[in-house]
Amino acid sequence: MTEEYEPKILMIACNWCSYAAVDLAGTSRMRSPHNIRIIRVMCSGRVDPQMVLEAFVNGADGVIVAGCRLGDCHYIEGNYKTLRRMALLKKLLEQLGVEPERFRLEWISAADAKKYVEVANDMVEKLKKLGPLRISFEEISKLIEEVKHIE
Amino acid sequence: MSKKVRVALYWMASCGGCEEAQVDAITDELSVIDYLDIVFWPVAMDFKKEDVEKLPDQSIDVALINGGVRLSEHVEMAKLLRRKSKIVIAYGSCSSWGGIPGLANLYQKEEILSRVYSEVPTVAEEGRRPQRKYVTEEGVELELPEFLPMLLPLNAVIEVDYYIPGCPPSPETTLKALKTLLSGETPPRGSVLGASSRALCEECPLNKTKPDKVLVKEIKRVYNAKIDPEKCLLIQGIPCLGPVTRGGCEALCPRVAMPCIGCYGPLDRHIDYGGKALSFIASIIDARSEDEIKKIIDTGIPDPAGLVYKFTLPASRFRMNLRKWGGSR
């Protein structure tokens, strides 16, 4: 393989701040890596840990959950809930064998396009160093298929 | 309820608790036994695999299979029973989602074998492992089943028609499920029988003391917490999984001041029970700074996977730990 490994990163961004920051980065013609796929949600407090697990299973090499800065949440309390959930999820992901670099929580304000670009570049760089997940979910499915055919 | 129902009961990677629950259920209501014709039950009756093989296909009405799939033998037996039975039921949490033995999926096969046969202090002969094939002095060749790379729920290897949840399913759950089947009703494939479709809190006697919003400054662990048996465990800081767990057990644990640990498994709408449980438990933490939150989590929840995936890891979206793994059997 001569092609360079390009990690796939899913960013779940809140409508009011972090998504606006990504938008601003675009309209300001800032260069940002193409590895990031974005899903917009109304609030980072809406991000269920099940979504993050689902992202990894569906092929993400890394996941970023992004919300307004603490204290600036459009819904006042939403991102504090995110903070609690993601802290516990981080610990769970480690137990499940996912390296800590693959999952991050970031607070990006609507004006901070620069921060979005920095976070995205940093994540891509780290994941390129790390490589793909040590075991892919296709491998697990293949293994189950093998077990199924035991006579 | 005129004709007798032909039933097969089988166990895989399990503790025997499910068999006790089945005996309990039948002795609770002896009349049920009149309708059952047991054709296979390794724990109690002397039938062999050959006896099942000799039966015509589809001749067993219901097969109740408990335990997780851990050995190649389990795969063989599950497939055999599937062929011979009209209805296959995953009985208990292990068969439905992996159960407690499924937590072994946090480790890889080699780690488990090395721990059991080399590292524990009670090892008799260092490094000696069971061999798949063994020839006795008389020249008889014996074969042991293969220890699979992970534990799987029953539905990963065969089609499962219904689920009866619980660790073990309560006698009431078992009887309710059996009666549904005896009545000739055919719920949609994949249904959970004998349990509720609503969260456990709804049937918990402590629910009336639970406020709309639960927030706690500390998550406590059961072994050293002083628990008031009259109050909702959540407001006392005990991580009770009632709000995210299927009801049907009549809240056996919270009734005696023990938190629900999730043995009746996910509600219909959950994608990943552990993810949902984690989301809920984290949301009751009453802290706003990262350090404070970390402190509460580290003292109260040292093992999140053991808390939220106690019964469902092999059926979760990840199914297992992704850490250093060879990728082959």
pLDDT, tens digit (0-9, with 9 covering 90-100), for B238-258: 999 999 999 999 999 999 999
What's the rounded Cα separation, in Å, for the pair A43 and A29?
Answer: 26
For chain B, the average pLDDT equals 93
SS3 B307: helix
- Number of domains, chain B: 3
B211 and B295 co-located in one domain: yes
Share of chain B above pLDDT 90, in %: 79
What's the rounded Cα separation, in Å, for the pair B47 and B140?
Answer: 23
Q: What is the mean pLDDT of residues B162-173?
A: 96
B214 and B304 co-located in one domain: yes
How many other CB atoms are found less than 10 A from the CB of residue A111?
11
Residue B43 lies in a domain: yes
Parent domain of B156:
5-100+150-182
Q: Which residues of B fall within a CB distance of 8 Å from A147?
A: 69, 75, 148, 152, 156-157
B161 and B68 co-located in one domain: yes
H or E, element range at B134: strand B133-135
pLDDT classification of B126: cutoffs 50, 70, 90: confident
| Token pair recorded at residue B20 | 């006790």
Residue in B144, B214, B272 to test binding to A, most A beta-carbons within 10 Å: B272
Residue B320 lies in a domain: no
- List residues in chain A touching B: CB distance below 8 A: 48-50, 52-54, 56-57, 70, 80-81, 83-85, 87-89, 91-92, 95-98, 133-135, 139-140, 143-144, 146-148, 150-151
B23 and B128 co-located in one domain: no
B87 and B118 co-located in one domain: no
Specify the pLDDT at position B29. Answer: 80
Burial tier of B124 (Cβ tally within 10 Å: 0-12, 13-18, 19+): exposed
With a CB cutoff of 8 Å and minimum separation 6, the contacts of A118 are none
Pairing outcome for strands A36-41 and B133-135:
unpaired
Residue B255 lies in a domain: yes
CATH of residue B82? 3.40.50.700
B52 and B170 co-located in one domain: yes
Q: What is the mean pLDDT of residues B106-120?
A: 90
What's the rounded Cα separation, in Å, for the pair A137 and A140?
Answer: 5
Residue B42 lies in a domain: yes
Residue in B103, B241, B317 to test binding to A, most A beta-carbons within 10 Å: B317
Specify the pLDDT at position B1. Answer: 46
With 60 as the cut, is the pLDDT of residue B275 above it? Answer: yes
Q: What is the DSSP letter of B3?
A: S
Low-confidence ranges of chain A (pLDDT < 70): 1-2
B282 and B155 co-located in one domain: no
Residue A88 to residue B281, Cβ atoms within 8 A? yes
pLDDT, tens only, B186-213? 899 999 999 999 999 999 999 999 999 9
B258 and B300 co-located in one domain: yes
A130-144, B58-72, B190-204, B280-294: which range is least confident on average? A130-144
With 60 as the cut, is the pLDDT of residue B327 above it? Answer: no
| Token pair recorded at residue B88 | 């296959």
Specify the pLDDT at position B32. Answer: 80
Q: Which residue in the set A57, A89, A95 is minimally distant from B317, CB to CB?
A: A57
Residue B32 lies in a domain: yes
Q: Which residue in the set B149, B271, B324 is minimally distant from A143, CB to CB?
A: B149
Higher per-residue confidence, B181 vs B318: B318
What's the rounded Cα separation, in Å, for the pair B69 and B284?
Answer: 35
- Best CA proximity match to B248, nearest among B269, B233, B262, B234: B262
B176 and B119 co-located in one domain: no
Q: Which residue in the set A50, A97, A151 is minimally distant from B275, CB to CB?
A: A50
| Token pair recorded at residue A69 | 């800065």
B161 and B55 co-located in one domain: yes
Residue B34 lies in a domain: yes
B168 and B178 co-located in one domain: yes
Specify the pLDDT at position B123. Answer: 82
Residue A95 to residue B304, Cβ atoms within 8 A? yes
SS3 B74: helix
pLDDT classification of B181: cutoffs 50, 70, 90: confident
Residue B321 lies in a domain: no
Q: Which residue in the set A83, A84, A148 is minimally distant from B157, CB to CB?
A: A148
Residue in A56, A91, A96 to test binding to B, most B beta-carbons within 10 Å: A96
pLDDT classification of B34: cutoffs 50, 70, 90: confident
Distance from CA of A145 to the nearest CA of B (A): 8
With 70 as the cut, is the pLDDT of residue B2 above it? Answer: no
Q: What is the mean pLDDT of residues B63-69?
A: 97
Q: Which residues of A fall within a CB distance of 8 Å from B274?
A: 92
pLDDT classification of B272: cutoffs 50, 70, 90: very high
Q: Which residues of A fall within a CB distance of 8 Å from B72?
A: 150
With 60 as the cut, is the pLDDT of residue B77 above it? Answer: yes
H or E, element range at B5: strand B5-11
| Residue with the two structure tokens 């603490």 | A70
Complete domains list, chain A, with CATH:
9-148 (3.40.50)
B17 and B96 co-located in one domain: yes
Residue in A58, A73, A92, A148 to test binding to B, most B beta-carbons within 10 Å: A92
Residue B194 lies in a domain: no
Higher per-residue confidence, B124 vs B99: B99
Query: A122 to each of B22, B255, B326, how far by Cα in Å?
Result: 57, 51, 29
With 70 as the cut, is the pLDDT of residue B305 above it? Answer: yes
pTM of the model: 0.93
